[in-house]
Structure 1
Amino acid sequence: MLLLLAAVLTTAPIAACGSTAGPGAGPAPSVVRVSVPATPASADPGQLAATAAATNAFGVDLYRALTADGGAGRNLVLSPSGLATALAMVLPGARGATADELSKALHTGLTPARYAAATGALDRLSRPAGGKDGTVLRRSDTLWAQQGFALDPGYLATLAAAFDTGVRTTDFRKDPAGSRQAVNALVEQDTEGRVKDLFGPRDITPDTRLVLTDALYLKAKWREPFPHAHTSDQPFHRPDGNAAPVSTMGRNAALRYAEGSGGIAGQPWQAVELPYAGSNLAMDLVVPAQGGFEGFVRGLDAPQLDRILGGLAERQVDLTLPRFTFETSNDLVAPLRSLGVNAAFDDADLGGIPGPGEQERLKVDAVVQKATVAVDEDGTVAAAGSGVGIGAAAAEMPRQAVELHIDRPFVFLVRDTATGQPLFLGQVTDPRP
């Protein structure tokens, strides 16, 4: 996903420690690091738990905002942790109402530096060791700056300690198109080609001075794959009431399962958890009853999602699940405004970002998101790109298997079951390619 900010800044120099040629056709960026390698910032267990819960609540808020006003009828995937990380890289430079509104939207009461440290620590904890048959989860965080633009040393140190973020310099002023290609190429590289053209031609201009990016890539095999021989075409009932045949997987297995009611008018739902191999990561599927999807989504909030996930217990499940693959891009300015983030767009105070001597103010110009997900018999591949640009202006096994045939719209969540950190959240309303 992508987060873009813009403001006019002065161009006092940054002392570079080294340089490398950047990806793509843009100008070769310099790589700038803080002078002393940063020690990874730490957070106590209470701060980690609070930040994971906050990211979950922020993700549900954003999901509901994106599915309001008719949005419940479309496929959607977003990365709560990716956007939270991008905003956590902005927050240490925010002041006054700008910082207060961002903190409230992110559901955090921690100081900006502690929130950044906790977010970065959660990101590191979610990364499994990986391996041939395991889960691969990678993320990279980068700050791009206009050549000659000074950054506050304390701000740089906070990002370096929390996210291992250095600085790449490029010339947005003279070559915005080439700089955009360089930024996009690095995000594409870090997501294994899954997120392309994160920034559009109008997003990076000669007035751009800073761009922050977060790239997240997941490739995970199911702990127990779906047998390919069990896949067949089965009807899937879309929100408009029509049904169409889709490629549907099937398996009968011991899985964590729950059922209940919730949302508007208490629609019945079923939920199941599919663990990935070699990690604490899992995909949770929440399936409202036929005809109740839109009401369920309108009434979904973080406490209800917590209750659903907290009620999962081992059952024998006769499960069917459609294969699906799609990507979504979203303009997030309006959804963030609906969450109370206004000062950042209107009268921002990001005075903690520029270094001494910089006079001009910063403000957020645009926020967009791009993410992709693919699910099949073997597992899941998902990716998200996030960017910030700153420029001018277990229970006893029952004998009988419960049946969950997912032939209707459903919500999905990829999370770290150990920390509760949500990596991806979305919905499938039409799994046809």
Structure 2
Amino acid sequence: MKKQAFLIGAAACIILLCTFFAGCTDTDGGPEETPPATEGADDILEANTLFAYDLYHTLSSDKEYAEQNIFFSPYSISTALALTYEGAKGATAEEIRSVFYFPVDDAVRQEGYAALIAGLNSPDAAYMLSTANALWAEESYPFLPAYTGIAQQYYAAEVRNMDFISSPEESRLTINRWVEDRTEDRITDLIPQGAITPLTRLVITNAVYFKGTWVLQFDENKTQPAVFRTGQGKSVTVDMMQRTDDDAIYPYAETDDLQILRMPYEHESGKALSMLVLLPKDGDITTAEAALGTTELAEAVSSMEERQVEVFFPKFTLETTYFLPDTLAVMGMPTAFGDEADFSGMDNTRFLFITDVIHKAFVEVNEEGTEAAAATAVIVGRAVSVESPVPVFRADHPFVFMITDDETGMLLFMGRVADPTA
């Protein structure tokens, strides 16, 4: 599978962006008062966090991504696969559930996603945050109404009929335009040419977009060139933003190995969003990576207190593309990508399997704030089932022949015909 990412230095690691980390605090240090989440939403939040850490560790340990940037939306990937999981059965379903930590209870999982999606799409005048799902179904294929109904009811998914058989390329362009529209054109060409074929029966898409401004914006006039040490021991020059004034008050904590900073985004009536940054004191990114998912990190984050901090933070833009079948198979769900896949909850057959999972992400961080977008496509195809053409056996050139005893296989006569007229 082709994969792509971009280089990143190891001085700082952006672990979670926007809503991908629970426990955001307001700028006064106290917990933000938001409506209580349902039990299902809490379970989905926990599942998403666990999957995020697992995927991060899998990508960071992959030699293909050594010393490279990593950026992805765990929410986008897990939501697209949750829609896929709703149609999975047997071992296929169990493998997907184990990788993504989905609740076994259908009601908990489905109502949890419904609550989270509604919350993410709640308007706030201070920032833009939206997410959207869609099922793109081959118009001639009999998908079960129960499956598409779950997608619409609990995942707010659009269900659109497509002509993949006759118009795979036109279908691809239509889906890509939908993604572009819902990510403010930040995610383009999500599905590459050739990924959709006449055997494609379903494409599941998720898109998420965020644009927010810092509560404490940086002064562009104070941004200066500065040295950034990469994980390869090289030094590069970056545009370094800074807040060193008396008003630079941030939630902050330290451990023996890390500095932890939270940079909140402006908000009004909606949920509080922030960027959480783990900065290893020894300059080794593996120190921050090793802390992910640990009790020590959770305790440190929960103990963050507001205080004055002199902040120097680089401007950057990242664009990443991941083709995830191999990665997800390594993480524990290989069956979904082969002939043994069971997505009978979609169509009541065993013909379907996942042909690709594609994820693209974008983030730009500057003095004003952050813009981030991501999209995921799960492409489901049908196993090849084509009638064999009628063979033509034209013995108009020399051949070998044998006469055999069909019951025993005894070769009774054997010869070669070079010229039948001789």
Both structures adopt the same fold (TM-score exceeding 0.5): yes
1:65-108 per-residue CA deviation (whole Å, 9 max, x = no partner) reads 11113435111210011111101111111111111111111123
- The aligned residue for residue 344 of structure 2 is 351
Q: What amino acid maps onto 2:258 in structure 1?
A: W
Q: What amino acid maps onto 1:366 in structure 2?
A: D
1:273 paired with 2:262, answer yes
1:255 paired with 2:250, answer yes
User: Where do 1:64-143 residues align within 5 Å?
Assistant: 64-70=57-63, 71-131=65-125, 134-143=126-135
1:360 CA displacement: 4.9
1:109 CA displacement: 3.0
Alpha carbons of 1:304 and 1:160: their partners in 2 closer, same or farther (altered >3 Å)?
farther
1:369 to 352, 359, 362: 359
User: Where do 1:46-65 residues align within 5 Å?
Assistant: 46-65=39-58
Alpha carbons of 1:157 and 1:61: their partners in 2 closer, same or farther (altered >3 Å)?
same
Q: What amino acid maps onto 2:161 in structure 1?
A: T
SS at match of 2:320: strand
1:139-182 per-residue CA deviation (whole Å, 9 max, x = no partner) reads 11111111222221111221111122131111110111111011
2:213 to 221, 237, 245: 221
TM-score (norm 2): 0.77
Query: Which structure is richer in relative contact order (CA contacts within 8 A, separation 6 or more)?
Result: 1
Q: What amino acid maps onto 1:84 in structure 2?
A: S
- The aligned residue for residue 207 of structure 1 is 199
What's the RMSD between the two structures over aligned residues?
1.8
1:150 to 138, 142, 148: 142
1:302 CA displacement: 5.7
1:126 CA displacement: 3.0
User: Where do 1:235-246 residues align within 5 Å?
Assistant: 235-246=227-238
Q: What amino acid maps onto 1:58 in structure 2?
A: F
User: Where do 1:321-360 residues align within 5 Å?
Assistant: 321-346=313-338, 347-354=340-347, 359-360=349-350
Alpha carbons of 1:329 and 1:153: their partners in 2 closer, same or farther (altered >3 Å)?
same
Alpha carbons of 1:303 and 1:225: their partners in 2 closer, same or farther (altered >3 Å)?
same
Identity of aligned residues (%): 32
Of Structure 1 and Structure 2, which has the larger fraction of its residues in strand?
A: 1
Q: What amino acid maps onto 1:259 in structure 2?
A: E
1:254-304 per-residue CA deviation (whole Å, 9 max, x = no partner) reads 11111114xxxxxx1111001111141111011112442134425633645
SS at match of 2:342: coil
- Work out whether residues 207 and 373 of structure 2, in 8 Å CA contact, stay in contact via their aligned partners in 1: yes
What is the distance in 1 between the residues matched to 2:40 and 2:350? 34
Alpha carbons of 1:313 and 1:121: their partners in 2 closer, same or farther (altered >3 Å)?
same
Alpha carbons of 1:228 and 1:307: their partners in 2 closer, same or farther (altered >3 Å)?
same
Comparing 336-345 with 323-332, which one deviates more in the overlay? 336-345
What is the distance in 2 between the residues matched to 1:223 and 1:128? 20
- The aligned residue for residue 382 of structure 2 is 392
1:114 CA displacement: 3.1
1:305 CA displacement: 4.6
Alpha carbons of 1:127 and 1:166: their partners in 2 closer, same or farther (altered >3 Å)?
closer
SS at match of 2:157: coil
What is the distance in 1 between the residues matched to 2:114 and 2:77? 12
Q: What amino acid maps onto 2:38 in structure 1?
A: P
What is the distance in 2 between the residues matched to 1:328 and 1:229? 30
1:378 paired with 2:368, answer yes
What is the distance in 1 between the residues matched to 2:321 and 2:178? 18
1:309 paired with 2:301, answer yes
What is the distance in 2 between the residues matched to 1:359 and 1:50? 31
- Work out whether residues 76 and 207 of structure 2, in 8 Å CA contact, stay in contact via their aligned partners in 1: yes
- Work out whether residues 321 and 360 of structure 2, in 8 Å CA contact, stay in contact via their aligned partners in 1: yes
1:119 CA displacement: 2.0
SS at match of 1:76: coil
